[in-house]
Copies of this chain bind each other. A is one copy, B any other.
Amino acid sequence: MSQNNSAMKVVGQSIPRIDAPIKATGKARYTGDMKLPGMLYGKMLFSSVPHASIVRIDVSKALALPGVKDVIVGKDTPGIKFGNWRLFPATQDELPLAIDKVRFIGDAVAAVAAISQDIADEAIGLIEVEYAPLPAVYTIEDSLAAGAPLIHDENKELTNNISLDRKIDVGDVDAAFATADYVREDTVFVHAVSHAYMEPCAVLVEPDTEGRLTIWTSTQTPYIVQCLLASTLAIPENHVRVVKPYIGGGFGGKMELRPWDFCASLLARRTGRPVRFVLTRVEEFEVGRRRHGMKIRSKVAFKKDGTLIAKDFEAYLDGGAYNSMGPTATFLCGNFGAMLYRYPNYRYRGHHVYTNKPPAGAMRGFGAPQALYLSETQMNIAAEELGIDPIELRLKNAMVTGDVIEGVTRISSAGFVESLHKVAEMTNWKEKRASLAPNKGIGIGCYSFISGGVFNWFNTQYNFASCEIRAYSDGTAHLLTMAADIGQGSDTVLRQIMAQDLGLDPEQIRLTAADVTMTPKADLGTWGSRVTLMNGNAVLDATQKMRAELAKMVSLRFNLNVIHEVAFADGRVFAKAQPAKGISFGEAVTMWVKANRGEELVVRGHYTPRDLGLTSPAYSFGAQVAEVEVDPETGVVTVEKVSTAHDCGTVINPLAVEGQLEGAIQMGLGYALCEQFVMRDGKTLNTTFLDYKVPAAEDMPAIASAAIETYEPQGPLGAKEAGEGLAIPTAPAVSDAVWHATGYRCKDLPITPEKILRATGKL
């Protein structure tokens, strides 16, 4: 893609986020801050039992409570299912309100709209539900056992609780194993964790008088919510306007239609009044999506010199009661199992398993933290057993630019080898790994991640990313994009890309984002680290069209001939070789408007990856080293330092990448050391931040990082992802460091003091 020929002035700068001042001063309006005249307050009734038939629901007492305006149950709805987006009809297994069966503690059963939150809360307690209990299963093993209850017996295609299988077969795995010098097989259990976003889910719906709805909802995927809401309400798609307000994090937990979105919408249509739902933190922990717990087995084969020759990888995903995004996670987990190293022969078998627990969905990394926890841990074990330094073993097998796994990946840029060298140098790896003080450990974990998906996961007819740019005589411009900034900083980054390519000051660019009715259709949302690459490419498509239009004006004004390159910089448009022959950006726009007899200068840009394999247009890579101290008496792990060298292509905004890295390490530490759900009979017991332990600021280690800049040909100005991949390496790195300090190799996250003490014979 040809880009602006002036030097990089905006891209590469640590520009503070557009939303930093408004968030830091507390003025940003989140959905829960919004209030409309006549607004009703909503509350959901969630199932209190893990698996049951609904015999009877009596809402009469709730309806009779003064101030209650409406109560809805499943039979008041069109009864249309949704599921793993709209890709495969068979994965649509969830009703917005249960009709005759509940499948987990938290399945939505009824919803109330009342004139105050207190009344709505009280009304929920007045709804009588009679359940006929059914046997329930809570583990992958129980769910797959002979005679287990069929959780989705309504789906006649299913003969057990596996909702979906996924296969990958590359080369001849069995033949390769037969020639191996060294084979290693491990099985790990990686646990479910919470997204723990700061803002609980919230939705506000305002009806108009013709059946249309405007919805402010805490979502990563406004377009997808629009489509699924319209489908479940059985109304035209474009009667639903989803507007993304400020969002307090998502991490994958806000990329689906949720029952409160549907209930607020239906209640708004029925009452003719705005309706708002705000979940409590307890509800979030009980019914919010979570990261998939998985049971994963990996068998790898090496030649004596450490060369990998085959991998046989199998994952069982604990999906909970519904598919949610599980089928996609089952797909991606297998792809991630094939990443980082060159496996000439690769086999994957993935299985998505129903259990009577809250459904698992997407979460930062989307299958990769689980797959790579095992891959990386196994690589460290193999290195030990082969007597090769873990970094050396990785360097021998590392993916490089140009690698292709047919049907899985095409690596158009990879800075993995450089990352490994760099992190070794940054940490003085060899020396420390060889000679550390007692109870100290140093360990390594690596990652690779996608920059958005090539596969049309949502079966959209529209481009994957689109934008519109309008330019004005006053020297300002307006970027309209459906991209959803949920806190990751994409608005800032897209504006930098646009400013760079048009030679404008970012502050002169107005940005309107993520309003499905007003911003150009469509955009698949924020997930899979797709936004910078896909929307960035859409922006560049538009800026290039804009530059072509304005270059004409300068050519006309100065009678430039064809050899003149027209440059855009410092708010000017000019002949590159004769900068005096130029005019201001605004003046060029004025010329254009006049030449076009009063039309506004508007261009649209698009991006859809085509013919780029099945997974992603581009891949990030990186290596991370953790240094820990383990208290031998208490088993408490203190992570002292985390060092990362990583390749995210061109770094558009170093400050933003740094923020992603710090947040990712925090999340990785929680995954590795302290976060877990405590469940009993399908019920989540730890439902507050007092009981569900997330690392806080004082738990953070020292952080060192180095960017290995590559130029990604598929990315905007060479950029690729920096959002999710960084959340992957911390758990294996810390786990390896704990092994290095204690000899305990964790195969069932999290690494608790109790497990360490048991392993070291102290308990």
Binding site for B on A (CB under 8 A): 18, 21-22, 25, 27, 29, 33, 37-38, 208-212, 230, 236-239, 272, 460-464, 466, 472-476, 478, 507-508, 510, 512, 517-518, 520-522, 590, 593-594, 597-600, 602, 604, 606, 608
Contacts and interface: CB of A to CB of B under 8 A. Distances in A.
A291 to B, nearest CB: 32
Contacts of A211: 507
Contacts of A593: 461-462
Contact of A238 (B472, B520, B594, B602): B472
Contact of A209 (B21, B38, B238, B478): B21
15 contacts: A27-B38, A33-B37, A211-B507, A212-B510, A236-B474, A238-B478, A239-B474, A461-B598, A518-B518, A522-B600, A597-B606, A597-B608, A598-B606, A600-B604, A602-B604
A35 to B, nearest CB: 8
Contacts of A460: 598
Given A462-B600, A590-B461, A476 B238 contact: yes
A600 B606 CA distance: 10
Contacts of A463: 597-599
B507 A210 contact: yes
Overall SS of chain A's interface: loop
A19 to B, nearest CB: 8
A473 to B, nearest CB: 7
Contacts of A608: 597-598
A237 B586 CA distance: 11
Contacts of A38: 27
Nearest to A235: B474
A37 B460 CA distance: 38
A461 B594 contact: yes
A517 B508 contact: no
**Which of A476, A597, A600 has the most chain B CB atoms inside 10 A of its CB?**
A600
A27 B271 CA distance: 13
A232 to B, nearest CB: 15
A235 to B, nearest CB: 9
Nearest to A590: B461
A212 B211 CA distance: 33
Contact of A517 (B209, B272, B478, B590): B478
The 9 A-B residue pairs whose C-beta atoms are closest, nearest first, are A463-B598, A236-B474, A21-B209, A521-B600, A238-B476, A237-B474, A238-B472, A462-B598, A236-B476
A239 B600 contact: no
Nearest to A472: B238
A357 B144 CA distance: 88
A237 B590 CA distance: 13
A88 to B, nearest CB: 20
A510 B240 CA distance: 10
A238 B510 contact: yes
Given A478-B517, A520-B602, 5 more contacts: A18-B209, A21-B209, A239-B476, A239-B510, A599-B604
Nearest to A273: B27
A560 B472 CA distance: 42
Contacts of A37: 27, 29, 33
**Which of A25, A517, A604 has the most chain B CB atoms inside 10 A of its CB?**
A517
Contacts of A475: 236
A18 B209 CA distance: 8
A655 to B, nearest CB: 17
A393 to B, nearest CB: 44
Contacts of A606: 597-599
A498 B27 CA distance: 40
Contacts of A208: 22
Contacts of A462: 593, 598-600
A725 to B, nearest CB: 27
Contacts of A522: 600
B237 A472 contact: yes
A462 B598 CA distance: 4
A600 B520 contact: yes
B466 A600 contact: yes
Nearest to A239: B476
A528 to B, nearest CB: 18
Contacts of A520: 600, 602
Nearest to A34: B37
A508 B236 contact: yes
Given A33-B37, A472-B238, A512 B507 contact: no
A173 to B, nearest CB: 38
A522 B599 CA distance: 9
Contacts of A590: 461
A510 B521 contact: no
A215 to B, nearest CB: 14
